[in-house]
Structure 1
């Protein structure tokens, strides 16, 4: 990633919070790296270095600022936008793949050799997969030290470190002191084991009502719900089940955050739980860039001004989202919820059943036409045998091709899955009835070909325009 010194320095000099997470500022005279908006730094030009990731700054020998907590900044929106190998790898690293499967597992998932993947990541983000995973472990450990009563040895292994010594050395190097210092300074007791309370930062504005309305209207009974401004759901994570509660809170700049309560069966799942919650709520988006482009269209200008910061609700589980899309073909949203609730209840699992469980369900678990039932089973089998990849790091083009190759899945369903499960910010569904109604209400053409031609000007943010059209239907 190319970082232009003058542009970065101006952002730091003005403490511009919009750049938090885009890059990190290191000061050679102090040996500390910070967020661009950190109020504690007024560095001289000669003492400043800029890095594209916290891992790159750590690799260069800098430790994290204890005041601005640069590791808690929103992630770079670039990794959600980009569909290339580096973007896919960054999403997988964030989900903890390196801790669970090592670098060989990460390389295998993105289809490159370990050496070539290392070169690409160093060139783009200034650090290889091991260094990036190490930075994430340090952040996970800090959260556990500050928010739980777990012993430090337990935290070391829960965060993914291979030994207590490695844990101690890393925390000292990254935060400038032993783990006990973090606990003395910030420790807050939690009411029960396995509960972690933390703040998920985002770049304002965030239109929380729109986000919660979308998720609440589509909430699967027994799996998720929205109550009094809080989204609650069960999750299936690599090491066990979990429950999350997410409450978006208003704020400006660095104070903008979502209050999260995570109840984890296994605290090793903290990093993937955080990554999936962030993706679900689209917290790493750059709303000013999105709204800045969409607002130039006269037809969208008023809705952008009225509702700034509308996000694309993503997903915590790709398979669940794909089943949602298939069930929802040509039926209402309430009817879709009811059917999905029946499927989840029939499986008897915590959360929505995975693909393997769905292949075992009897016919009566699917209150729908036989053809649609067989489409779901065909999808589940394709996921089980690996011919369709719905993981966070899936190649978006290959995902769409694999989906439409299955009987009963067309372009609309594949596009919906690409938008929500794969996080594609540039999906547009011009044949969708609600999209056409929303377009007509805003004075846009409602004939699919004409609407698609008009929407070309909204690239690369057509998914965000799609949400706005649905809201104006």
Structure 2
């Protein structure tokens, strides 16, 4: 492995960023063991590290697996990858739907396996049963709601998915050694208005909030998103565990003195609260370790004055299909022109949502809505100014998502999904890299043909830009955002 590649992987190891888990392993000569990049053991010195792309290669080199981080559990490295994929999907579904009262049987049904099989593989992977994991997710959500909202205790119990107040009280007292009402008395809250609740999501400072807002404002789809008075607002359309379509709105503000984002949620969205919060965390990149990113990208400031700013975040997305369509519409045209096309699509095919907030009128059309359009797709999208080729690409994306043939949700395997994306007619390298960056949250995507990237690094040639970007790995997505912001 080349020296610059070792530097790249050491930076990822130092950050302990879960998005790199399974992409490489590190053998530590001083201990004779090999670890995953997320291992919480003391960081080894660079000279003691050797990096491998597979666990097998590390073992061939004479290293034994770490008992703390368990390399056999890394995504894609077990003898049967399908089992690990099943466990990961189960974990995501449990976390996102813990507030809906979903049962283990229902989760297993969604995964296409028996609940007995899911319990077995989940327990083997995490050393807790799915029921125990689900209970913890529900309790933590309830604790958050008791602390940060003025919802009644029974409403908290229902929103957290307990089904009954008695069950909630019993489990809360057992786990936390206090009654829910006792925690509520210790945590006075400000009364919410308009049937909304307010929660706080923490982040690691610094956080360039104004940069993030400016980025989102420039690309906000009229009718769906808006930025008002230093906050981001948007319409929401999610599907509950009972397959009920839920509509509403959300507002995200900033409280820098507490290092939190404030999330004001329409009361109608309580049945899908955990899904909503997961998407907000992704959209605003709350998993980021800004110090680890800046340590590598500070060198950008030798290329241009203040080209890299500490605390720059990678703008994610709220809805993967919405982001993918936005990327297709943005091919070879300006940000403003793509925004105009997206607004027309929303007005023609989106679902009206009564929010009472100026500028928020529609939910973005779902893949199912696009597929349901009768006749050739060109006939529906062509009059909006969308070319026939792009209309057909949007339809193929919708079909692939509905058939679950493609996954560009946060945390998806980028190399695998990029190949699938590139196989869709009308999706080239720029579009695929953009989707990997924003929809999947991949930290090391780099759309080297992007107009903004080339403009920010002019007069360098494409070859020179690619060589320069190699020094920014494994944070090339963050480097790209810094380049865009510099314009």
Q: TM range, normalised to the smaller chain?
A: 0.7 to 0.9
1:412/1:91 CA distance change after superposition, 3 Å = farther
Q: What CA RMSD, in Å, does the superposition of the two structures yield over aligned residues? A: 3.1
Are residues 1:460 and 2:474 paired?
yes
Find the counterpart in structure 1 of residue 292 from structure 2.
Answer: 289
Alignment of 1:202-281 (within 5 A): 202-239=203-240, 240-251=246-257, 255-281=258-284
C-alpha distance in 1 between matches for 2:198 and 2:435: 30
1:286/1:153 CA distance change after superposition, 3 Å = same
1:20/1:184 CA distance change after superposition, 3 Å = farther
C-alpha distance in 2 between matches for 1:324 and 1:411: 15
Alignment of 1:74-113 (within 5 A): 92-96=93-97, 100=102, 102=104, 103-104=107-108
Q: Secondary structure at the match of 2:454?
A: helix
Once the two structures are TM-superposed, the CA of residue 192 in structure 1 deviates from its matched residue by 4.5
Give CA deviations for 1:319-342 in whole Å, capped at 9, x if unaligned. Answer: 000000000001111111111111
Find the counterpart in structure 2 of residue 358 from structure 1.
Answer: 370
Give CA deviations for 1:24-70 in whole Å, capped at 9, x if unaligned. Answer: xxxxxxxxxxxxxxxxxxxxxxxxxxx98xxxxxxxxxxxxxxxxxx
Which residue, 92, 116, 119 being the options, matches 2:121?
Answer: 116
C-alpha distance in 2 between matches for 1:358 and 1:220: 18
Question: Unpaired segments of 5 or more residues in structure 1?
Answer: 1-17, 23-50, 53-81
Which residue, 378, 402, 405 being the options, matches 1:387?
Answer: 405
Once the two structures are TM-superposed, the CA of residue 105 in structure 1 deviates from its matched residue by 5.6
Which residue, 341, 344, 348 being the options, matches 1:346?
Answer: 348
1:133/1:225 CA distance change after superposition, 3 Å = same
Q: Secondary structure at the match of 1:295?
A: helix
Give CA deviations for 1:425-468 in whole Å, capped at 9, x if unaligned. Answer: 1101111121111123xxxx732233223222222211101111
C-alpha distance in 2 between matches for 1:167 and 1:365: 54
C-alpha distance in 1 between matches for 2:402 and 2:294: 39
C-alpha distance in 2 between matches for 1:325 and 1:138: 38
Are residues 1:427 and 2:445 paired?
yes
C-alpha distance in 2 between matches for 1:367 and 1:135: 49
Alignment of 1:6-21 (within 5 A): none
Once the two structures are TM-superposed, the CA of residue 91 in structure 1 deviates from its matched residue by 5.1
1:146/1:400 CA distance change after superposition, 3 Å = same
Q: Secondary structure at the match of 2:457?
A: helix
Once the two structures are TM-superposed, the CA of residue 395 in structure 1 deviates from its matched residue by 3.1
1:19/1:177 CA distance change after superposition, 3 Å = farther
1:384/1:19 CA distance change after superposition, 3 Å = closer
Give CA deviations for 1:390-427 in whole Å, capped at 9, x if unaligned. Answer: 33453333321221111111111111111111111110
Partners of 1:161 and 1:167 within 8 A in 2 = yes
Partners of 1:264 and 1:270 within 8 A in 2 = no
Partners of 2:99 and 2:272 within 8 A in 1 = no
Find the counterpart in structure 1 of residue 463 from structure 2.
Answer: 449
TM-score for the superposition, normalised by structure 2: 0.71
C-alpha distance in 2 between matches for 1:330 and 1:300: 26
Which residue, 325, 328, 344 being the options, matches 1:326?
Answer: 328
1:293/1:392 CA distance change after superposition, 3 Å = closer
Are residues 1:166 and 2:167 paired?
yes
C-alpha distance in 1 between matches for 2:470 and 2:109: 37
Give CA deviations for 1:290-320 in whole Å, capped at 9, x if unaligned. Answer: 0011114553585366x21000000111000
Q: Secondary structure at the match of 1:261?
A: strand
Give CA deviations for 1:145-169 in whole Å, capped at 9, x if unaligned. Answer: 3455544333223212254333223
Q: Secondary structure at the match of 1:289?
A: helix
Are residues 1:316 and 2:328 paired?
no
Find the counterpart in structure 1 of residue 155 from structure 2.
Answer: 154
Question: Unpaired segments of 5 or more residues in structure 2?
Answer: 1-13, 19-38, 41-73, 77-84, 241-245, 354-362, 374-379
Partners of 2:235 and 2:249 within 8 A in 1 = yes
Partners of 2:99 and 2:271 within 8 A in 1 = no
Give CA deviations for 1:184-222 in whole Å, capped at 9, x if unaligned. Answer: 222436345641112211100000111001100000001
Partners of 2:345 and 2:384 within 8 A in 1 = yes
Q: Secondary structure at the match of 1:265?
A: helix
1:133/1:470 CA distance change after superposition, 3 Å = same
C-alpha distance in 1 between matches for 2:169 and 2:485: 50
Give CA deviations for 1:230-287 in whole Å, capped at 9, x if unaligned. Answer: 1111111223112111112323xxx211122111314122212111111111112100
TM-score for the superposition, normalised by structure 1: 0.73
Once the two structures are TM-superposed, the CA of residue 88 in structure 1 deviates from its matched residue by 6.6
* Mean CA deviation greater in 193-202 or 307-316: 193-202
Alignment of 1:28-67 (within 5 A): none
